Amino acid sequence: MAKVKEQLWEILQDLKEEEFEIFKWFLKQDDNVEGFSGIKVAQLEKAERQHTVDLLVQKYQGHGALEVTVVVLKKISRNDLVERLQNSTSEKKDFKSHQSSALKGEFEKRKTQLGAKLKLMIQERQAKIKEIKDSAELSGKSADRQISDSKKAFSELLQTLQESLDSLIKSINEKRKTVEKEAREHIQKLEQEISELSKKSAEVEQLSPTEDHLNFIQSFTSQNISPPAKNWTEVSIAPPSYGGSLATAIPQLEEKLKEHMERLIAKGKLNRVQQFAKDVTLDPDTAHPSLILSDDGKTVCCGDAIRFQLENSKRFLSAVNVLGKQCFSSGRFYFQVQVKGKTSWDLGVVNESIERKRSITASPDNGYWTICLRKGQNYQASGVHLKVKSELKTVGVFVDFGKRSVSFFDVDSANIIHSFTDCSFTEKLYPFLSPGLLQLHLGGTNFPPLVITPVNY
């Protein structure tokens, strides 16, 4: 150890005062060499070269002191002293061995770190490949679906065009048949008159050879050679205006195509939201005691009596309601419910914190985004009457947190029934179903259940 101190002393003696101060500054830093902390500032503050050597050896021991000194000398660009220290030390072999061991340890450590980093990078890229493949596959399926839908749409459009063309041709042919019939009738009458006139002409020829001219004139006059006949000079066949049929057909065709395109666009919108369909099941812990749920949690109807249920904070007691098990707080989601044959029902989405023990008005202000049917024909949303063209059989519910909207679809026609916009979503939303008022069920007019149906997308 004394030899090490002597060698370090000789090296530090060759440092200029400015270099020595920088040397001490580096000694204060942690991790000059991997795993070695720095010497305390207070100890180095006024340390001379000899004291600095003592601190080096005391802090890092023999090999460690040499190693730290070499690293710091390299940092202050005194490689000449590094070479001299390495060549002059009697423990050169051990020093290099220690350096080699330290380098090997550092190598293994960095190799492990690099290996882990590379492995992570590989995993990230493999995940990205899967993501891209999944996206490409989804894109391919979407393309196939679009092609199929486009073929169907154009087939329906062509069918509409063909039907319009067939109707136009039928109209034209009917006009043609009318003209042909009129022409045949005129020709038949003319031919009949020609036949009668031909007979009279033959009679005239038979009278012409007689020499009794007076008798001929009397006979000629007595013959009714001019039978009652139509004045054909005023009779003509006017060609019908076939262009009028086309002029009438074109606006009708435009109206049909417009209606057809509107239906296709509506179906397209419904298809786009149906891709966000979620598997919704009903939560029996929230169901009013009079409700009966199917084992799979997809169907709910009113029972004949209120059944005993364990009391819990989630259960509805004032209204025949039930919530879905699944909750949503971001993104977009869709589910659809069969309401066919019912005279009363409510459905939509609600806040998690809605009142469950007493009656409350269903409105967005109270955490309800729902629509309902009353008395078999009165569709409402938050008390506002909804115009529905035909009886609803299946209703789709679509929530878009990004656009802050809740929309309801007539799945059969694909038309939007109603939309809540600028919604204030401040908590989790749950699917909400109510199969209707209990007294209506007991009266036999609202017996069919509400059924959460799968989406054929």
Residue 107 included in any domain: no
Same domain assignment for residues 324 and 427: yes
8: pLDDT confidence band, cut at 50, 70 and 90?
A: confident
Structural domain span for residue 33: 2-90
Same domain assignment for residues 171 and 31: no
| Residue (of 330, 303, 232) closest to 449 by Cα position | 303
Domain boundary among 90, 124, 150: 90
CA dist 143 and 137 (Å) reads 10
User: Who has greater pLDDT, 347 or 443?
Assistant: 347
49: pLDDT confidence band, cut at 50, 70 and 90?
A: confident
At residue 44, the 3 state secondary structure works out as helix
pLDDT digit string, tens, across residues 357-367: 888 889 999 99
Same domain assignment for residues 339 and 203: no
| Residue (of 370, 360, 387) closest to 450 by Cα position | 370
Whether 94 shows a pLDDT value over 60: the answer reads no
Mean pLDDT of 62-69: 83
Residue 233 included in any domain: no
Same domain assignment for residues 299 and 221: no
Same domain assignment for residues 320 and 432: yes
Domain boundary among 90, 118, 147: 90
Same domain assignment for residues 81 and 168: no
| CATH number of the domain to which 52 belongs | 1.10.533.10
Same domain assignment for residues 289 and 270: no
**What's the token pair of residue 324?**
């879905």
Residue 149 included in any domain: no
pLDDT digit string, tens, across residues 140-157: 887 887 788 788 878 888
Same domain assignment for residues 264 and 354: no
Number of domains in the chain: 3
Residue 446 included in any domain: yes
Same domain assignment for residues 316 and 253: no
Residue 103 included in any domain: no
Q: In this predicted structure, what is the pLDDT of residue 378?
A: 93
C-alpha of 226 from chain center: 87
Whether 222 shows a pLDDT value over 60: the answer reads no
Same domain assignment for residues 70 and 197: no
Q: In this predicted structure, what is the pLDDT of residue 227?
A: 54
pLDDT digit string, tens, across residues 117-147: 999 999 999 999 999 998 898 888 878 877 8
Residue 177 included in any domain: yes
Residue 116 included in any domain: no
Residue 247 included in any domain: yes
Domain boundary among 90, 112, 144: 90
Question: Is 70:63 a contact under the CB 8 Å cutoff?
Answer: no
